[in-house]
Every structure is written in C-alpha cells, then in structure tokens.
Structure 1
Amino acid sequence: MARSKEFEEKVVLDKAMKLFWEQGYEKTSMSDLVEHMGIHRRSLYDTFTDKHTLFLKAFDRFAERTNSRLAAGVKESATAEDAMKFLFKYMIFGDEDTPPGCMLVNSAAELAVRDMEVDVKTRAGFSDTERLIKEIVVWGQEKGEFTTAIEADDLAQVLHNSLVGLRVLTRTSTPKEKLERIAELSMYILKKK
C-alpha cells in the first residue's frame, strides 16, 4: 500500500528554494536539504527524483514567486517612475522572508556556463525581467515621464544590467545607502533629454 505524503509540496519546495538561494547548488548537500526541508530522504527522492531535479523545481518556484511579486508591484504603481523605483527597491531589499540577492543571478553565475537546463532557465528569467522593464519604459515614454531620445529596448537593457549588478552587490556587505544611490543614478538615464 502506498504511503500518503506527510508534507505540503509547495511548503517544502519553498524551503529548498531558500536553501539553494542562500548557499548555491554545489554547497547544498542532500543531507542539508533533508534537514532543512524537514522530510525523509526517501520522500525527497520519491517526490523530486534527485538534487538537480529538485533544484530546477525550486528555481521554477523562485521564478513564479518573483514574477508574481514584480507584476503586482508594478500594477500597484501610479506612474512609470514609481514602477521603476519599485523594481530597484525590490532588487535591493527583496522580501522580508528571503535571502539577500537573487536566486536567478546566483544560479546564472554558478551554473549556467556548464548546465544547459539552468542556462535556458536563467536566460528566460533575464528576458522576462528585461521585458517588464521595457513595458515600464514604454509606459513612461508614452506619458512623457521618460526620455524618447533613447529607444525603449536600449533603456531596458541598460537598466536590466544595473539591476543585475545590484542583485550581486546585495550579497555583499555593501551598504544599502550606496545601492540606493546607484539605483537613483541608474534611473537618471530615463530622464535625460
């Protein structure tokens, strides 16, 4: 007779996601995962197959949560400038219950060069973020908030690059005040006439 699961899959997946996010793929052992997720090793293998599959599912969970949070924050913004400020603030401070930095950026730096599945997922994640930035830029250009002297695609690429850099710096002891100044200067390009 098959045993029923004694855990909520999304709950334990969130725990795995945070551990991978904090420690990275290589540094996270199966023993770490079993302990942190609070499930038996056999249940982990039965549900997620292996460490790599679990990592990919945790990565998808990260993308789902982050994309949802970013979309909601942008939708709640009254102006394109507010939306862009929200993006920068979110990249610097994140959510209260998450590790610093970004699982997508961390995974790209650690694994993408040698793991095709991670490369595909990180490139897709970067594309999604850049697409969101472009939508905000176009909104701001249409409302006269942002410059039209630079194409929306080009602005989105530059701002995305700045956001990725900020996500890396948030993993260090760099003061948040410095990161906020970088964000302000990055946004300056949007106003340049």
Structure 2
Amino acid sequence: MSRPREFNVDRALHQSLEVFWTKGFKSTTFEDLTRTTKVKKQSLYCVFKNKRDLFLKALVLYREERISILEEMASREMSPLEKLETIFDYSQYQNKETCRGCFMVNSALEFGNDDQEVCREVSLMFDQIESILEKIIREGQEQGLVTKCQSSKELAAYLNNALSGMRFMEKAGASNEQINAILHTSFALIKAENAR
C-alpha cells in the first residue's frame, strides 16, 4: 500500500514556478524550492524526478495558464483592436512591479538551443500566441479595422515578435515610455487607414 501524499502538488508546482521565474533554472537550488514549498526534498522527488523535471512541468503550467487567459481575452465581446490592446496591456503590466519579464522568454534566453524540451515548450507557446493573434487580426481585417497589406499570418508573427521584444525590454529594465512607444507604433502599423 503506497503512502499518501503529504503535500498539495498543484500548490507546490505553482510555488516552484514562481521561484524559477524569479531566479531562472540554473540559479535555483533545491534548497530554494524546499524552503518556498515547505516540502522535503525526498517528498518532491517522489512526484518530480529532479529539478529539471520540476522546471519543465512549471514551464508547461505557465504556458497553459497564460494561453488560457489570452483565449479568454480573445473571446470577449469587443472589437478586434480592443482585444489586441487588452492582450498587449496584460502582457505589459502583469509583472510591472517585479520586472521579471516573461518566464518563457527568460527560459529561451537562458537555455538557447541547448535543451530540446525547453525549446519545444517555448515554440509551442509562441505558436499558440500567434494563432490567437492571427484569429483576432483576421476578424479585424474582415471588419476593415486592420490593414490587408499583409496577411493575417504575417501580421500575427509581427505582433508576436513585438510582444516578445517588449518582454525582453521589460526584463532589461526599459522604461514604460520606451515600451509604450513600441506598442503605439505596432498598433499604428497594423490599423487600416480608415481606423487610424
């Protein structure tokens, strides 16, 4: 008969995500994780094989939660341009006080191409965000609010890149004014002439 689990796995995973997000994978020690979660190392190892396994599960959790939030925003009853502004505002201000940037972008910068599983999670999140943006942009093009000079796919890739760059700038300490200038320019470029 297996011993019952003595801690809340979901809570421990969320707490671990916060540690990894703040410190990065390499700078996070198992002592950091056990101190934050208040779960003994042996108990964590019973559920998560090692620090890397815990980190990968935290990345998946982060992606799933953020994509769920963006999908909810995309489904709201508002104009496509308002949806895009809501997504950009959320992306800009979710970490305003901590300046941690985006956990996924941070991980991409930390690992580069060295870890296939991390790369796969990063690519999946960016693909999912681009798909959400493309759907909104296509809706905006159909309503004459978004330019048709480029395809919805091209514009979605452009905005996705702007979002990623914004998160990198935030992490690097850029001011709100600098980031807002990029957002303003991005929206000006995608709007149809009659929507400006």
Partner of residue 84, structure 2 = 84
Distance 2:124 2:85 in 1: 23
Cα distance change, pair 175–99 in 1 and its aligned pair in 2 (3 A)? closer
Q: What is the TM-score with the length of structure 2 in the denominator?
A: 0.92
Specify the code of the residue in structure 2 equivalent to 1:172. Answer: A
Say if 1:51 and 1:68 are closer, same or farther in 2 by CA, change over 3 A.
same
For residues 192 and 138 of structure 2, the distance between their equivalents in structure 1, rounded to whole angstroms, comes to 15
Post-superposition offset of 1:151: 1.1
2:80/2:140 contact within 8 Å kept = yes
Q: Which moved more, 1:69-78 or 1:30-39?
A: 69-78
Structure 2 Cα separation of the partners of residues 99 and 11 of structure 1: 23
Deviations 1:88-112 (A, max 9, x none): 1111111689863111111111114
Aligned 1:67-82 pairs, distance under 5 A = 67-82=67-82
* Aligned mates of 2:130, 2:98 — CA distance in 1: 22
Q: Aligned AA for 1:90?
A: Y
Counterpart contact for 1:21–1:99, Cα < 8 Å: no
Give distance in 2, aligned partners of 1:99 and 1:165: 14
1:145 aligns with 2:152: no
> For residue 109 of structure 1, what is the amino acid of its counterpart?
L
One-letter code aligned to 1:159: L
What is the one-letter code of the residue matched to 2:52? H
Gaps of 5+ in 1: none
Q: Distance in 2 between matches of 1:181 and 1:6?
A: 50
State the identity as a percent.
Answer: 29
Aligned mates of 2:97, 2:62 — CA distance in 1: 13
Match of 2:17 in 1: 17
In structure 2, the residue matched to 1:45 is 45
Higher deviation after alignment, 128-137 or 92-101: 92-101
Aligned-CA RMSD value:
1.8
**Contact 1:18/1:99 (8 A) holds in 2:** no
Q: Deviation above 6 Å: which 4+ runs of structure 1?
A: 95-99
- Measure the CA separation in 2 of the matches of 1:129 and 1:104: 12
- Please list every run of 5 or more consecutive structure 2 residues that lacks an aligned counterpart in the other structure: none
Mapped to 2, the partners of 1:95 and 1:71 lie a distance apart of: 19
SS at match of 2:171: coil
Matched residue, 1:187: 187
Retained in 1: the 8 A contact 2:145–2:192?
A: no
CA distance in 1, matches of 2:176, 2:15: 26
TM-score normalised over the length of structure 1: 0.93
